[in-house]
Structure 1
Amino acid sequence: MGWEDELFALFDDLEDQASALHATERDAEVADRSRAEYRQVSLAGRLMATVGTTATVGVVGIGPVTGTVERVAAGWLLVAARKHDWVINADAVTTVEGASVRSVPEVAWSPLTRLGLGSALRRISEAGERCVLHLRDGSRHEGDLRRVGSDFCELSTGEERRTVLVAFTALAAAQSRA
């Protein structure tokens, strides 16, 4: 092998090393950008992609609720579990098992998803269904939802028709009794 062949072999080797170094740097940059982009993904976005599938949602004061995620909106989600529907306050969600690996960005959501927790509770009230309000402290109140304010709901309980006001901040979930 002549000196020219050795020189070209050296250049080839240096070029291979430079390519490998560039590929390593590029892989690190792609991984870093991927992590940075994932910071934009919200739990609600993952839940939105889970609509129509079965998941187990951990809820403060209740524990796991397993069922089909029917709807996700601003601050709440609807889970159909066996004979009961659950309107779950999103702030009370602790864990989700079985969620989609995908996410739906907020810009792709329907305008109906802007309806807040009060809207979901008003639907229960208008239907006249009995329900159980589960609070974050583990207590519960069963009765008829009468009215829903901006940050609380009014429940009529028991035979004596006692009225209980429940702040949304204390509410973990509303469970249908139908």
Structure 2
Amino acid sequence: MTASSVLIVCDMLNPYDHDDADALAASAEAVVEPLRDLIERSRDADGVDVVWVNDNHGDYAAQREQLVERALAGRRPDLIEPLVPAPDHEFLVKVRHSAFYGTALDELLRTREARRVILTGQVTEQCVLYTALDAYVRHFEIRVVRDAVAHIDRSLSDAALRMMERNMRAEIVAAADCLGARSGA
């Protein structure tokens, strides 16, 4: 199976029980709907696959089911319920900031013959930024969906978006335009 683009959803399964969870949840509130819509539209888009990559929150045995359950049982299930991964979406578990670090993401992208990664999720100034850098050094085209990424610190998020655009040649797009922007899906 080939996909010219892979929509990567980073770390949206979060129980929101960490130090800066309130700031992150406030930002995530605004991205849930555009992200949910983008994931839905990707089902009908030719050449676009969806891959979820989620932090294991220190539980190295946790997989999709456990991470979904913990997030739904957390402080903000309203941010999780609209985004529970579909059973047919690929799901990888990570242990550090980048979605590439210690995961099979690079192999999955190569197997799918993906040329482009579309980055969404949280946290813009951390995991999204580090994933973009790792995608860039692996020669993938990068799109970051500005209204489908959540932040902890707005100024750092804005700086991270500028860095991705300038230093990694990322295309910063709106969710509504993402699947049809510039060079197609």
* TM-score category, normalised to shorter length: under 0.3
**Which is bigger in relative contact order (C-alpha 8 A, separation at least 6)?**
2
- Relative to the length of structure 2, the TM-score reads 0.26
Relative to its length, the structure with more strand (as a share) is 1
Relative to its length, the structure with more helix (as a share) is 2
